[in-house]
Amino acid sequence: MRRGRVVLFEAAGKDFRQETFEVRSLQRGELLVKNRYTTICGSDLHTFCGVRKELSPTVLGHEIVGEILELGPEHPGVDMRGNPLAVGDLITWTIFSSEPDSWYAHNGMPQKADKLFKYGHALAAGAEIFHGGMGQYCMLREHTTVLKIPAGMPLAVAATLNCSTATVAGALRVAGDIRGKNILITGMGHLGITCAAMCKSAGAALVIGADITPGRLATALQFGADKVINLKEDAAVIAALLQDFPRKGIDVVFDMSGSPDAMELGLSYLATGGIAVWIGAVFSTRPLQINPESVIRRLITIKGLHNYNFEDFNSAMTFLENNWQQYPFEQAIEKEFELHEAQQAFEYAVQEKPLRVGLRIGHE
Amino acid sequence: MRRGRVVLFEAAGKDFRQETFEVRSLQRGELLVKNRYTTICGSDLHTFCGVRKELSPTVLGHEIVGEILELGPEHPGVDMRGNPLAVGDLITWTIFSSEPDSWYAHNGMPQKADKLFKYGHALAAGAEIFHGGMGQYCMLREHTTVLKIPAGMPLAVAATLNCSTATVAGALRVAGDIRGKNILITGMGHLGITCAAMCKSAGAALVIGADITPGRLATALQFGADKVINLKEDAAVIAALLQDFPRKGIDVVFDMSGSPDAMELGLSYLATGGIAVWIGAVFSTRPLQINPESVIRRLITIKGLHNYNFEDFNSAMTFLENNWQQYPFEQAIEKEFELHEAQQAFEYAVQEKPLRVGLRIGHE
């Protein structure tokens, strides 16, 4: 019987605990993966800091790349593009698995479908331990959608695909056609810079990156932002800028920050007919104050998106395949740690607020 | 030179003033119409009561049916369906005219396009007097989209088409496919009952009409609502009802009331993936309190719509053609007055809150 180590999260403020467990045998449709690289997502940090509640103990980490160790009975043996899967292949997979034959799955929202299971978010108990990125192995449930990592793509780049990149791909899908549009992105974390690069590559007329941290604004310029705005200082600058736009406002605003101030500002900057896509606020915030008359008279659309669907997962891969070298995505993983240094990695991430911290797994 | 009478609105709290003016000669692309019937819309009442500000003096009334008196030079001579237009034809027309060769017109929002002009909303001054429904004539500007009234459709029914019916048609367009969906409509005024009938005829699984006035709820049942809810009393009833729905919530909520309480409740009742369409709040209200995390995690879409586009105008006509006898649309015009009784008509409407009051024109 194979045994493996995981890093257990028990409660905010308590150190991680490393422990070794037996890896159970595979069931119908499952895959066993040897984790190779996990990036720490903002949501992992929210749990670590007690801002988000999860069942515990749990194995955090859902932005994972791994290597196939074993295909379970009746596994279809192909990824979502039809590429054959074999032991040794490097893969990434959707953050969730769910029942394909259910209403939400049939209606483009598999991330909310029946029998939902989310990697890096589940209770670690009994034989069900290996379902997060902060362990040596991950067991992929039946109906988990998989993509092979293209040759040459660094593990650190590929790791962010199944959360940050795919969610941003979803944001662009719900925003509709980006070509020729003026875009504002609030929050220049990993989601924000990815969104800037994706909008630029989708043919946006102008991409404005906004944040309250000068360092993040400088980074945004490397990821396709044509212009950057410090929301703490430049409210008047953006208001003036809008007067030169043909529609006197922003066509699409993406909020990646989760800041109520940023979401309210974003709505106020929209042109008539504009769209606001909210992604960032996956934690509790103060309520937004929204003027319904203004939403109505300006024909505003507001869309919330959480996670992503299979189309988004696939288009995220296409985007990264074509663009990971056009923009410094590799440098966005600003510091790397080994799995056994998980505690330091999280403390570093909380303190220094890098775009991403990476955990290398299986080198030890 | 032809002369005609109009009812001038000067200021809230001041009686209407009736006056006679010269009707100027037609310019390129214009049409001269002899008004036959005008229904008083909620927006007219808002202006009358001082809740909405318009330039004044003005000729209120935009839900109008009239008879063609004269076609101006170079008028295309056909309605939007290609039917030839001749003197004597009964027609209705879009509440606005705008420049067809401009961005918003090209992007499905002609109601926000360049050179926007709105009937029943403009300053009455100089030679530009006849542009509202509360007068004997209306002069239709170039690029005003016209539809002939089908034989047999009562004037009172046809009059509401170019505002209430068309706006509701727009609401259904932006809501997407209605078939098989569970619908909640808050506000059972003329917009709300029209929405109930339109959703029912579009194949909704269940239409719930909500209001705070028992009389309006009774009417809703005649207009296709399967169920009615008194929002003042039955918050628990609707919460319990939702538990039996397959998605534990409403798929589409239409707010026709403009009430912040109703809009907030509507959002709270939405199922994951649900859509809220706001139409009612075309006046100043308290700001809504919205929880962005809930909008995001539930993949909620919020859409504001003001007025409508040509597709909506046309589908409103198709709907009324097929359904004006299926539902008691004629009785929704609860009381009629003659044009010279405009003052009494408005006072009655404010006091008694009927679905609609009608003004007969040209019988005197």
Per-residue pLDDT of A228-274, as tens digits, reads 999 988 778 888 889 889 999 999 999 999 999 999 999 999 999 99
Per the CB < 8 Å rule, is B300 touching A299? no
Find how far residue A31's CA is from the centre of its chain: 22
Percent of chain A with pLDDT over 70: 99
Q: Which residues of chain B make contact with A297, given a CB cutoff of 8 A?
A: 282, 304, 306
- pLDDT tens across A186-202, in order? 999 999 999 999 999 99
Contacts of B215 (CB under 8 A, 6+ apart): none
Under an 8 A CB cutoff, do A292 and B284 touch? no
Please report residues of A whose CB lies closer than 8 A to that of B247.
Answer: 103
What is residue B17's predicted lDDT score, i.e. its pLDDT? 97
Domains delineated in chain A: 3-154+324-360 (3.90.180.10), 168-304 (3.40.50.720)
Distance CA A211, CA A234 (A): 10
Contact A282 B293 (CB under 8 A): yes
For chain B, strand residue ranges (E) read: 3-8, 17-22, 31-39, 63-71, 90-93, 96-97, 117-118, 137-140, 146-148, 182-186, 206-211, 227-230, 250-255, 270-278, 288-290, 301-304, 333-338, 356-360
Say yes or no: A103 contacts chain B, CB-CB below 8 A: yes
How far is the alpha carbon of A173 from chain B, nearest alpha carbon, in Å? 13
| pLDDT value, residue B364 | 53
- pLDDT of A363 > 70? The answer is no
Selected for mutation to probe chain B from A253, A261, A299 (highest B CB count within 10 Å) is A299
pLDDT at A364: 53
Is B320 in the A-facing interface, judged by CB distances under 8 Å?
no
* Residue-level length of chain B: 364
3-state secondary structure A174-195: HHCCCCCCEEEEECCCHHHHHH
Q: Is any Cβ of chain A less than 8 angstroms from the Cβ of B284? A: yes
**Which residues 217-246 on chain B approach chain A with CB closer than 8 angstroms?**
246
A279 CB neighbours in chain B (<8 A) are: 296
A301/B296 CB distance under 8 A: no
B247 touches chain A (CB under 8 A): yes
Which residue among A293, A299, A306 sits closest to B299, beta carbon to beta carbon?
Answer: A306
CA distance readout (Å), B301 to A215, B208, B267:
33, 20, 10
B282: tokens are 């075309």
From chain B, the residues in CB contact with A300 under 8 A are 303-304
User: In chain B, which residue's Cα lies nearest the Cα of A109?
Assistant: B273
- What is the pLDDT at residue B239? 83
Cβ proximity of B291 and B124 under 8 Å: no
Q: What is the pLDDT along chain B (364 residues), one digit of tens a residue?
A: 899 999 999 999 999 999 999 999 999 999 999 999 999 999 999 999 998 888 999 999 999 999 999 999 999 999 999 999 999 999 999 999 999 999 999 999 999 999 999 999 999 999 999 999 999 999 999 999 999 999 999 999 999 999 999 999 999 999 999 999 999 999 999 999 999 999 999 999 999 999 999 999 999 999 999 999 999 887 788 888 898 899 999 999 999 999 999 999 999 999 999 999 999 999 999 999 999 999 999 999 999 999 999 999 999 999 999 999 999 999 999 999 999 999 999 999 999 999 999 999 986 5
Position B238 scores a pLDDT of: 82
The model's pLDDT over A146-200, given as tens digits with 9 standing for 90+, comes to: 999 999 999 999 999 999 999 999 999 999 999 999 999 999 999 999 999 999 9
Residue B41 makes CB contacts below 8 A (sequence gap 6+) with: B61, B62, B63, B163, B164, B190, B356
Confidence check: pLDDT of A212 > 80:
yes
Q: Is B279 exposed, middle or buried (0-12, 13-18, 19+ CB in 10 A)?
A: buried
- A96, A293, A298, best to mutate vs chain B, most B CBs in 10 Å: A293
> Is the reported ipTM for this assembly greater than 0.95?
yes
Task: State whether B287 and A290 contact (CB < 8 Å).
Answer: yes
The mean pLDDT value of chain A amounts to 96
- pLDDT by residue (tens digit) across A100-124? 999 999 999 999 999 999 999 999 9
